[in-house]
Amino acid sequence: MFVCLGNICRSPLAEAIFKRQVADLDLSDKIKCDSSGTSNYHIGEDPDHRTVTNALKNGLRLDHKGQQFKVEHFALYDYIIAMDQSNLEDILLLQEAHRAYEFGLMKMRQFDNLGKGSDVPDPYFGGPQGFQHVFEILDRCNKHFLDYLIKKHALIQ
Ligand code: 4NP
């Protein structure tokens, strides 16, 4: 489960990029993913039009409706990947409040060889170049995350 604040910019893009990488390696029957936001700002909405336009420029069509991250998701996903530190802290607060299931919470850029551990910047209030920057970060991180999953779970023999 990829998580950002609004679920209209970063996390639906992370989901779409990851699905394509998973499909390219014929792993779609073994790895499922989704995305959500910590806020309730954009429930039911399509991704931000700037994210959609930028994704199309990179050959990717987004198919997602905004949803809020819920306590039930803890039990449904093996990995919860937060885009930034505030998303991570909001998820932890929810877990503590509900004494929810132990889960694999990570930050997306833990898998980045450039800028390891930092935040995926929120492009919402910036210009179009921010969307391409985010695309490149997510593409890179997801490749490394997928490599990690393949090795950890012996997904390719
Ligand atoms: P996201 O970006 O968390 O990457 O989806 C944002 C989208 C909406 C808002 C903030 C960030 N907002 O304040 O509505």
Distance 122 CA to ligand 1 centre (A): 7
pLDDT score for 157:
86
Q: What is the pLDDT of residue 100?
A: 87
- Measured from the Cβ of residue 128, the count of other Cβ atoms closer than 10 Å reads 12
Q: How far apart are CA 85 and CA 88, in angstroms?
A: 5
Parts of the chain with a pLDDT under 50: none
pTM over 0.95: yes
Please provide the average confidence, as pLDDT, over all residues in the chain. Answer: 97
For the CA of 134, the closest atom of ligand 1 is 4
Among residues 10, 48, 90, 112, the one annotated as catalytic is: 10
Taking each helix axis as running N to C, give the angle between helix 10-24 and helix 49-57, from 0 to 180 degrees, rounded to the nearest 10.
30
CATH number given to 2-153? 3.40.50.2300
Q: Length of the chain, please?
A: 157
CA atoms of 29 and 36, how far apart (whole Å): 21
Instruction: Output the CA 40–ligand 1 centroid distance in Å.
Output: 10
Q: What are the boundaries of each domain within the chain? A: 2-153
Instruction: Find the residues whose C-beta lies inside 6 A of ligand 1.
Output: 4-10, 37, 41, 122, 124
